[in-house]
Amino acid sequence: MDIEHRLMPEVRATGRQLVGTAVPYNKAADIAGMFRETVMPGCFAASMKTNDIRALADHRTDQLLGRTKSQTLQLIETNSGLTFAIDLPRTGLGDDLLELARRGDLSGCSIGFIATEERWPDPRTRVLHAADLREISIITGGEPAYPDTSVAVRHRDRATGAYLRRLRLLEAPPWAG
């Protein structure tokens, strides 16, 4: 199966860590004018437990920003969507993305996944119940598929320990506003 990609809007910067909502749940999005898609809560839960999910720039595997295996990418499911925190590397790529985010120049974030359980109530409506999440990407151009997503930058120390545990309990993360 081919990996599907979905682009999400808005990247902002105020620190060294990118945080935001990668996918909103229960919100329909227009997918390239071909169909409407809704991602259901828990869609990525199984793959989050087993996969080493990567954070990339522009879906390019040679532009690695973080990964769940090394805990430089954290993924948290809330009632409203899948949230993430990426500890940006101190590399040219990490510094460039940080500056672009601070300036408001980035288009948004995107995900790469393979659908494993889907329903088509009609030929133009897809509901995703389960998907194998492979990656989250920061995108430097393009239009968002899901308009209710966000990305911001925060300092690493604000997203550690008790702060991340508290996020798991929230309806929406504090950076989503």
Question: pLDDT tens, 16-43?
Answer: 888 878 888 999 988 888 999 999 999 9
Kindly state whether residue 165 falls inside one of the protein's structural domains. Answer: yes
In this structure, of 71-75, 82-86, 122-126, the range with the lowest mean pLDDT score is 82-86
Domain residue limits at 150: 4-170
CB 4 within 8 Å of CB 156:
no
pLDDT at position 6 over 60: yes
Q: What pLDDT is attached to residue 21?
A: 80
Kindly state whether residue 75 falls inside one of the protein's structural domains. Answer: yes
What are the helix (H) ranges across the chain? Answer: 45-50, 92-103, 162-167
Kindly state whether residue 176 falls inside one of the protein's structural domains. Answer: no
Residue 2 CA: distances (Å) to CA of 51, 109, 113: 17, 19, 9
CB 149 within 8 Å of CB 22:
yes
Kindly state whether residue 136 falls inside one of the protein's structural domains. Answer: yes
Kindly state whether residue 153 falls inside one of the protein's structural domains. Answer: yes
pLDDT at position 87 over 70: yes
Helices (H) and strands (E) in the chain, counts: 3, 11
pLDDT at position 99 over 50: yes
pTM confidence score:
0.78
- Backbone angle region of 42, left / alpha / beta, with phi > 0 → left and psi within -120 to 50 → alpha: left
Kindly state whether residue 130 falls inside one of the protein's structural domains. Answer: yes
Kindly state whether residue 148 falls inside one of the protein's structural domains. Answer: yes
What total of structural domains would you count in the chain?
1
Give the residue, 78 or 132, on which the prediction is more confident.
Answer: 132
Kindly state whether residue 29 falls inside one of the protein's structural domains. Answer: yes
Q: What pLDDT is attached to residue 148?
A: 65
